[in-house]
Amino acid sequence: MSLEKTPRPGGRSARVQQAVHAAAEELIAENGGDRSAVTIPQIAARAGVTPSTIYRRWGDLQQLLAAMATDRLLPESVPDTGSLAGDLGAWLESYVEDFSSPLGRRILRDMVADDAATTRYFQILQDHLDTIRGAALRRGEDPPSVDDIVDTVVAPIIYRILFTAAEDESLGLSRRLRQLLQRPEAGPPGADVHAGPEHHYQTTGTAPGPETRRLP
């Protein structure tokens, strides 16, 4: 679960990190997710350490939150459903679930605010996707490249989570998956890639209306 290089894992350092992360998470939860309401001295008191420990180790609240975010959003285990479509679908479902909640959204913002955390996380994502691809290759399937998976599925979803107020998922998860996986066959030239026939959208609520918006 820990991203930090721990030269002495299991030691005092690890205990402090865990205590601080837990304390911060508790305090944020108690404040309804409002980050600006919690302070480092508060976290330190709850965690049973002195503030200077946190300042020296993490720098400021933003970086502490970013570190917690990357920790929290790690893809847990690689599913193995027997097929690429299954593996990707299973992973994506939990991925979207993690990120699309109001809490996940805030955690994502915490992470994106910090360059180091973001690139670190992307590395982990690439590794994870590669593992899934590896399994597919071993089965004799022909998986899309990591870049294609990122461009077609991951980027649009994360972008809409960051830039869109939609609470629910009009994220078109299954539509995007189909788009990604059906590529090699390249169905009927006209109406395939975008706006496929049988929609799986779940345009439940205040989604970002599929089409145009008002003009200035």
Partner DNA sequence: CATCCTAACGCAAATCCTTTGCTTTAGTGT
Partner DNA sequence: ACACTAAAGCAAAGGATTTGCGTTAGGATG
In this structure, what token pair is assigned to residue 2?
Answer: 């820990």
Q: Which does 52 bind (CB under 5 to 8 A by kind): DNA, its own copies, none?
A: DNA
- Return the exposure string of 149-184: e unless at least 16 CB atoms fall within 10 Å of the residue's CB, then b: bbebbbebbbebbeeeebeebbbbbebbbbbbbeee
CB atoms within 10 A of CB 101: 13
| Sequential DSSP letters for 143-173 | PPPHHHHIIIIIHHHHHHHHH---SS--S-H
Token duo for residue 176: 């995007």
**CB 208 within 8 Å of CB 170:** yes
**61 lies in the site for DNA, by CB under 7 A:** yes
192 binding its own copies? (CB under 8 A): yes
**Where in 118-157 is the site for DNA (CB under 7 A)?**
none
Instruction: Find the binding residues for DNA in span 161-180 (CB under 7 A).
Output: none
Name residues contacting its own copies, limited to 44-73 (CB under 8 A). Answer: 59-60, 62
Q: Judge residue 84's burial from the number of C-beta atoms within 10 Å of its C-beta, 0-12 exposed, 13-18 middle, 19 or more buried.
A: buried
Neighbour count for residue 123 (Cβ, 10 Å): 10
Contacted entry of DNA, its own copies, none for residue 189, CB cut-off 5 to 8 Å set by kind: its own copies
Q: Give residues 25-44 in contact with DNA (rule: CB under 7 A).
A: 39-42
Choose the binding region for DNA from 24-32, 57-65, 106-114, 121-129 (rule: CB under 7 A): 57-65
Residues that bind its own copies (CB under 8 A): 36, 59-60, 62, 105-106, 109, 112-115, 118-119, 121-123, 125-127, 130-131, 133-134, 144-148, 150-151, 154-156, 158-160, 162-165, 183-186, 189-190, 192-195, 208, 210-216
Residues that bind DNA (CB under 7 A): 7-13, 15-17, 39-42, 48-53, 55-57, 59-61
